Amino acid sequence: MTPLQISHCTATSALGAGLAAHWDALRSERSGLQPRQYEDCTLACWTGEVKGLDQALQGTAAAWDCRNHRLARLALQQDDFIAQVAALRQRYGASRVGVFIGTSTSGVRHTERAYAERAGSGELPASFDYRRTHNVYAIADFVREELQLSGIASAVSTACSSSAKVFASATRAIRAGYCDAAVVGGVDSLCLTTLHGFHSLQLVSADICRPADARRNGISIGEAAGFAILEPDRGTAPLLLGYGESSDAHHMSAPDPEGRGAAAAMQAALQRAGLAPDQIDYINLHGTGTQANDHAEDRGVCALFGADTPCSSTKGWTGHTLGAAAILEAVISLLCLRHSWLPRSLTTTERDPRLGAAILLQSRSQPVRHVLSNSFGFGGSNCSLLFGLGR
Amino acid sequence: MKPLFVDAVGIAAGGLPDWAAAATVLRGEAPYAYADLPAHAPALLPANERRRATATVRLAFRAAEDAIATSRFGAHQLATVFSSSEADTPVMHRIGSALATPQRLVSPTDFHNSVHNAAAGYWSIAAGCRAPSISLSAWDAGFAVGLLEAAALAEIDGHDVLLVAYDIPAPEPLHQKRPLSCSFGVAMVLTPNPGYGHRIDLHLLDAQASESRMQDPALEALRVGNPAARALPLLQLLAQRRAGAVTLPGSGHSRLRISVAPA
């Protein structure tokens, strides 16, 4: 495909707000995960919580107030992103910049609270604004309003691949002429639905998540928001070289153990980029830290790349931020390109000998030209993104 | 935007149980009369998944299976776009209720059904389809945004595409906050290749363009009662097999103009 450039990006997660905080945490090998409880949740787990979300949104944004939108706004305020979008509006017009946001649970925490506050009649509080908080589209509409854009907007919700799919969706929309440029992103915030839901599937670790570790036993849930500007290549920024999407057609909440869907997504991304596997310098794995995910992904990676391409999961730093995982890891991939640096799998102490891929146990500086980032979700939804400094 | 061709249409709604029956009503050859849809057992789903499939998933399947029944494409060949404003509100209600109790015991089946792409996941398993699949939400503009996504998958990535738009009314107390009046599912098999049925052309307009409405008051009530039913003006043109154009609500401040040229 003709590459698009990623003119600007930003991310906010348990590592902090903005690119500098992320780079600092990555370089100093400081995890954002803590064995702390989220609100009054009593499950034994580690979480990657974002600080500074206690203030309600004010003014015109007050009707949209919920944890997810507080997180989205905090992220939008970093790295001069709002000003960059203002310049984009100038360049293309407000109606010609699309908005594509991935989320798995949107503002569900707001509905959880409303259910906890139900009156004796069973009714939800009158003040509960479902459309502007919990509805899946709310996050895309909120971001569109905050950025004063008026064109096409879509909320993509394919579980943990959501904010990877937005890159594919936005690329197609630009190519088809629905818009000239796009703001893509992902936002997912901590909530009881995912903590207790993943716990019900016995997928939450009481320990910090340890992707690719022999003793890994589940995920640590985090929260994050990230955004990027996608526009035609003007030679001024790193590129989205390819995307690849596939479906497992296997099981609703477990990956195909052979990793065929994962391999198909990676293969499609390589094909679109016109690159061979040996031209990829680093793979940012989905690497959730569950037995099944890491095993299946390893099968897919080894089938395509063999055992030599450096790879790691960065979820030991950030936790699994679900619908925002892909945008967060896209931003980390872009930091790898910018700083010629590869992150290790932070919490892996004993590499699982059954895994064949070249899991990095030490971070290192080296030339980095092409990075592949994987994201896989429930329902067997797979998406791989390929970023680079040029072909 | 290049033209798109409508190979097949499916529908699942009260009083419009399948496309053949719906087309008769939409052509004005039979009156519209609401009748509950009978329970649907998705024919394609393996027993394990069929047991776990919710009413929402079954509605999406009913519409999709109706389209596939007359399509020249096999279900396993088609990329998919599943568009739903709400996805599974009964599941959301059960999880919200469970989390409001001291034990907070969430059912694992409810949790895996709670993802917005549940219907898409079941469909890929049922159809044995490994093609790309997108699930999205755009409030009342979901049909138009889903159609644009499907058109882009066809034009840019060369896929033949199954589009399914579906929503069911929420149980109380959520229903008060999002009062959909009925269930509605619609499906279309779309292809970038000429020779497969009616040609449609898409144009994005600004919000000043007014939405097309249904002349029949009962069908107009249906149209505004469910986001997926916003497709009805387009479905009517397709049923009548005549040239024309309709305007559907789009996301942001946009509208989607769809021109139809019959095969």
Q: Is A246 within 8 Å of B130 when comparing Cβ atoms? A: yes
Minimal C-alpha gap between A99 and chain B (Å)? 9
Which residues touch A185 (CB under 8 Å, ≥6 apart)? A75, A100, A101, A102, A143, A163, A166, A225, A226, A227, A228, A327
What average pLDDT score do residues A14-35 get? 98
Which residues touch B108 (CB under 8 Å, ≥6 apart)? A197, A200, A201, A253
Q: Which parts of chain A are beta strand (E)?
A: 4-13, 16-17, 47-48, 97-102, 153-156, 181-188, 221-222, 224-232, 239-247, 282-284, 310-312, 341-342, 358-359, 364-365, 370-377, 381-388
Write out chain B residues lying below 8 Å of A204, CB-based: none
DSSP string, A224-280: EEEEEEEEE--SSS-EEEEEEEEE--S-SSS--TT-HHHHHHHHHHHHHHT--GGG-
Cα–Cα distance measured from residue A131 to residue A76, given in angstroms and rounded to the nearest whole number: 21
Which residues touch B15 (CB under 8 Å, ≥6 apart)? B25, B32, B33, B34, B35, B222
Other Cβ atoms closer than 10 A to A325: 36
Q: Is B117 within 8 Å of A377 when comparing Cβ atoms? A: yes
User: Strand A310-312 and strand A282-284: pairing?
Assistant: parallel
Q: Phi/psi at A65 (nearest 5 deg)?
A: -65, 125
Note whether A2 contacts B: Cβ–Cβ < 8 A. Answer: no
DSSP for residue A56: P
pLDDT, residue A391, reads: 63
Minimal C-alpha gap between B254 and chain A (Å)? 6
Write out chain B residues lying below 8 Å of A130, CB-based: 174, 177-178
- The amino acid present at A281, given as its one-letter code, is D
- Pick from A176, A193, A251: CB nearest B95: A193
Query: Average model confidence (pLDDT) for chain A?
Result: 97
Which residues touch A274 (CB under 8 Å, ≥6 apart)? A241, A242, A391
Minimal C-alpha gap between A246 and chain B (Å)? 4
Write out chain B residues lying below 8 Å of A174, CB-based: none
Q: What is the dihedral of CA B57, B58, B64, B66, to 10 degrees?
A: -170
Are the CB atoms for A310 and A270 separated by under 8 Å? no
What average pLDDT score do residues A297-310 get? 98
Minimal C-alpha gap between B24 and chain A (Å)? 33
DSSP for residue B171: P
Cα–Cα distance measured from residue B114 to residue B170, given in angstroms and rounded to the nearest whole number: 14
Q: Is B177 within 8 Å of A124 when comparing Cβ atoms? A: yes
- Pick from B80, B112, B152: CB nearest A378: B112
Considering only residues 13 to 72 of chain A, which have any Cβ-Cβ distance to chain B shorter than 8 Å? none
Cα–Cα distance measured from residue A106 to residue A157, given in angstroms and rounded to the nearest whole number: 9
Q: Token pair of A311, please? A: 């790879």
pTM of the model: 0.98
Q: How many residues does chain B have?
A: 263
- Pick from B99, B105, B173: CB nearest A124: B173
Q: Is B133 within 8 Å of A200 when comparing Cβ atoms? A: no
**pLDDT one digit per residue (tens) for chain B, 263 residues:** 899 999 999 999 999 999 999 999 999 999 999 999 988 888 888 888 899 999 999 999 999 999 999 999 999 999 999 999 999 999 999 999 999 999 999 999 999 999 999 999 999 999 999 999 999 999 999 999 999 999 999 999 999 999 999 999 999 999 999 999 999 999 999 999 998 899 999 999 988 889 999 999 999 999 999 999 999 999 999 999 999 999 999 999 999 999 999 98
Q: Token pair of A133, please? A: 């908080």
Choosing among B130, B162, B174, which should be mutated to test the A contact, i.e. which has the most A CBs within 10 A?
A: B130
User: Strand B4-13 and strand B198-206: pairing?
Assistant: antiparallel
Cα–Cα distance measured from residue A173 to residue A168, given in angstroms and rounded to the nearest whole number: 9
Which residues touch B176 (CB under 8 Å, ≥6 apart)? A123, A124
Cα–Cα distance measured from residue A170 to residue A100, given in angstroms and rounded to the nearest whole number: 6
Query: What digits encode the pLDDT tens for the residues A164-223?
Result: 999 999 999 999 999 999 999 999 999 999 999 999 999 999 999 999 999 999 999 999
Work out the end-to-end distance of chain A between its first and last CA atoms, rounded to an integer number of angstroms: 11
Q: Across the strands, what pairs with A225?
A: A12, A187
Cα–Cα distance measured from residue B6 to residue B194, given in angstroms and rounded to the nearest whole number: 9
Which residue of chain A comes nearest to B132, CA vs CA? A246
Burial class (CB in 10 A: 0-12, 13-18, 19+), A51: exposed
- Pick from A108, A156, A251: CB nearest B136: A156
Cα–Cα distance measured from residue A217 to residue A288, given in angstroms and rounded to the nearest whole number: 10
Q: Is A135 within 8 Å of B206 when comparing Cβ atoms? A: no
Q: Token pair of B205, please? A: 């307009």
Cα–Cα distance measured from residue B62 to residue B43, given in angstroms and rounded to the nearest whole number: 9
The Cβ-side half-sphere exposure at B150, using a 13 Å CA radius, reads 30
pLDDT, residue A37, reads: 78
Q: Which residues of A are catalytic?
A: 160, 286, 320
Task: Provide ipTM, 2 decimals.
Answer: 0.98
Q: Is B100 within 8 Å of A118 when comparing Cβ atoms? A: yes
Minimal C-alpha gap between B156 and chain A (Å)? 6
pLDDT, residue A368, reads: 98
Q: Token pair of A315, please? A: 């979820």
pLDDT, residue A38, reads: 87
Collapsing DSSP to helix, strand or coil, B217 comes out as helix
Note whether A104 contacts B: Cβ–Cβ < 8 A. Answer: yes
Which candidate, B179, B118, B79, B148, places its Cα nearest to that of A244?
Answer: B79
Cα–Cα distance measured from residue B80 to residue A249, given in angstroms and rounded to the nearest whole number: 12
User: What whole-number percentage of chain A has pLDDT above 90?
Assistant: 96
Q: Where are the alpha helices (DSSP H) in chain B?
A: 19-26, 47-52, 55-70, 89-99, 108-113, 118-127, 142-157, 174-177, 217-225, 232-240
Are the CB atoms for B9 and B188 separated by under 8 Å? yes
pLDDT, residue B37, reads: 93
Are the CB atoms for A122 and B172 separated by under 8 Å? yes
CA A175 to mean position of chain CA atoms: 23
Query: What digits encode the pLDDT tens for the residues A224-279?
Result: 999 999 999 999 899 999 999 999 999 999 999 999 999 999 999 999 999 999 99
Which candidate, B167, B251, B142, B204, places its Cα nearest to that of A141?
Answer: B251
Minimal C-alpha gap between A145 and chain B (Å)? 9
- Pick from B107, B130, B149: CB nearest A264: B130
- Pick from B114, B131, B148: CB nearest A193: B114
Q: Is A124 within 8 Å of B114 when comparing Cβ atoms? A: no
Which residues touch A87 (CB under 8 Å, ≥6 apart)? none
Q: Is B106 within 8 Å of A172 when comparing Cβ atoms? A: no
Evaluate if residue A119 carries a pLDDT over 80: no
